[in-house]
């Protein structure tokens, strides 16, 4: 019956991604949250751990449980979101899939098709290489059909979404030179997770702007994998993330050399996006001369995209913004969930 609610579990829900996921799930009209797990919060009510959720459906009664596979299955959950550290996620994905649940994994465990690339970027052998073949990269704008049919979704990282949405259509149409791509991304602090680390204290981050993680941030692996698919040829880019004194949001600026003449490139970019994102509610194309601003997307599932043409140097400059916890993590995972469950893609996600 169409109005039935789908029983859902969230495994590893005590971090910022879990928190945003739960915030959205308690408001989702077709979700029945039946299990939330956390070792450290075991036994505490959802609303106790996340005071913002007091009075939300279920939040005052549902308690965090130990992350035990059998106990999760016993709750009747049909879909499990995994908001766990990489490596640990596959330990849950494998048995949950075997027990018939659909799994939407927000970790990096199943994003890479090649286990060797995983080992190169994550420093350990892939924990479940057999599953890589069946996992689908959970960027609905590019893998809508595959997600609809999948049992295991590898929901993308925060930086990749902000980079792939503006770049993929242009590489597919060969409007830019893949070898010239340079990316500067600016991220809110929640992207670093909820961990007791002196470098993430308010006093260390406030009034501070700094790059980090270059030249080989882990997310490069999945970014280049997907850019390579789009270009039809091996793509390598330079990528520098920066830590910003904001709670949430990523703004990405991309520089790429224009293939051919600059004269009509802006029009072609406009047409390419219009065509590619015709059915993508959550990509908002701002147009030429517009720069995306994180404050218009935080708390939403939208990714905004604008661009300018730098005629003096023959480069196209792209600008995107998203909520790193939203379209970059939690709400994007729910977007896949909607597809997996046969719900409208926008269900429970049209927040502004």
For a copy of itself (CB under 8 A), the number of binding residues is 79
Please report how close the Cβ of residue 181 comes to a copy of itself at its closest, in angstroms: 9
Please report how close the Cβ of residue 70 comes to a copy of itself at its closest, in angstroms: 30
**Contact in structure between 218 and 108 (CB atoms under 8 Å):** yes
Binding to a copy of itself (CB under 8 A): which residues in 239-298? 240, 242, 244-251, 253, 255, 281, 284, 286, 291-298
- Contacting a copy of itself (CB under 8 A), which of 190, 331, 332, 335? 190
Q: Specify the residue, 173 or 262, whose C-beta has the smaller distance to a copy of itself.
A: 262
Q: For the residues of 226-260, what is the DSSP string, one character each?
A: HHHHHHTS----EEEEEE-SSSS-EEEEEEEEBSS
Binding to a copy of itself (CB under 8 A): which residues in 51-110? 51-56
d(CA 298, CA 296): 6
The Cα-based distances of 298 to 129, 156, 199, 302, 346 in angstroms read 35, 17, 24, 8, 17
- Contacting a copy of itself (CB under 8 A), which of 35, 101, 309, 329? 309
Please report how close the Cβ of residue 65 comes to a copy of itself at its closest, in angstroms: 21
Q: Residues with Cβ < 8 Å from 100, sequence gap 6 or more?
A: none
Q: Specify the residue, 156 or 191, whose C-beta has the smaller distance to a copy of itself.
A: 191
**Contact in structure between 105 and 154 (CB atoms under 8 Å):** yes
Which helix (H) or strand (E) covers residue 142, if one does?
helix 140-149
Which helix (H) or strand (E) covers residue 336, if one does?
helix 330-340
- Contacting a copy of itself (CB under 8 A), which of 16, 64, 137, 273? 16
Please report how close the Cβ of residue 53 comes to a copy of itself at its closest, in angstroms: 6
| Cβ-defined contacts of 282-291 (< 8 Å, 24+) | 282/141, 282/327, 282/335, 282/346, 282/349, 283/141, 283/165, 290/319, 291/319
**Contact in structure between 84 and 12 (CB atoms under 8 Å):** yes
Query: What track of x and - describes contact with a copy of itself for positions 33 through 62 (by CB under 8 A)?
Result: ------------------xxxxxx------
Q: Residues with Cβ < 8 Å from 195, sequence gap 6 or more?
A: none
Q: Which stretch binds a copy of itself (CB under 8 A): 88-96, 131-139, 182-190, 336-344?
A: 182-190
Q: Does 227 bind a copy of itself (CB under 8 A)?
A: no
Binding to a copy of itself (CB under 8 A): which residues in 192-221? 194-198, 200-212, 214-216
Binding to a copy of itself (CB under 8 A): which residues in 148-177? none
Please report how close the Cβ of residue 206 comes to a copy of itself at its closest, in angstroms: 5
Q: Is 113 left (phi over 0), alpha (psi -120 to 50) or beta?
A: alpha
Active site residues: 158
- Contacting a copy of itself (CB under 8 A), which of 161, 221, 319, 332? 319
Nearest CA to 147 out of 90, 95, 108, 105 is that of 105
Q: Specify the residue, 174 or 194, whose C-beta has the smaller distance to a copy of itself.
A: 194
- Contacting a copy of itself (CB under 8 A), which of 70, 124, 312, 342? 312
Please report how close the Cβ of residue 289 comes to a copy of itself at its closest, in angstroms: 10
Strands 210-211 and 238-243: antiparallel
């Amino acid at each position: 019956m169409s109005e039935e609610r789908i029983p859902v579990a969230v495994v590893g829900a005590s971090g910022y991604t879990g928190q945003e996921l739960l915030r959205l799930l308690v408001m989702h009209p077709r979700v029945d949250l039946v299990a939330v797990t956390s070792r450290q919060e075991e036994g505490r009510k959802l609303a106790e751990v996340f005071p913002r959720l007091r009075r939300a459906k279920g939040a005052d009664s549902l308690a965090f449980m130990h992350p035990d596979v059998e106990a999760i299955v016993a709750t009747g959950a049909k879909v499990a979101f995994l908001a766990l550290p990489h490596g640990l996620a596959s330990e849950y994905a494998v048995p949950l899939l075997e027990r018939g649940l659909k799994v939407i994994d927000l970790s990096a465990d199943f994003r890479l098709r090649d286990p060797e690339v995983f080992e190169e970027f994550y420093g350990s052998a892939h924990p479940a290489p057999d599953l890589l073949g069946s996992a689908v990269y959970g960027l609905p704008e590019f893998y809508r059909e595959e997600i609809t049919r999948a049992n295991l979704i590898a929901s993308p990282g925060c930086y990749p979404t902000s980079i792939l949405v503006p770049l993929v259509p242009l590489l597919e149409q060969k409007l830019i030179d893949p070898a010239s791509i340079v990316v500067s991304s600016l991220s809110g602090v929640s992207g670093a997770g909820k961990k007791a680390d002196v470098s993430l204290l308010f006093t260390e981050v406030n009034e501070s702007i700094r790059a980090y993680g270059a030249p080989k941030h882990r997310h490069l692996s999945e970014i280049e994998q997907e850019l390579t698919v789009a270009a039809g040829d091996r793509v390598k880019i330079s990528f520098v993330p920066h830590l910003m004194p904001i709670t949430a949001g990523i703004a990405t600026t991309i520089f790429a050399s224009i293939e051919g003449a600059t004269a009509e490139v802006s029009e072609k970019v406009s047409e390419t996006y219009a065509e590619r994102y015709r059915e993508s509610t959550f990509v908002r194309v701002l147009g030429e001369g517009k720069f995306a601003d994180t404050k218009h997307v935080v708390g939403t599932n939208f990714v905004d995209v604008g661009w300018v043409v730098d005629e003096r140097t023959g480069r196209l400059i792209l600008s995107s913004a998203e909520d790193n916890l939203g379209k970059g993590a939690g709400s994007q995972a729910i977007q896949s969930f909607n597809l997996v469950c046969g719900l409208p893609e926008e269900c429970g996600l049209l927040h502004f």
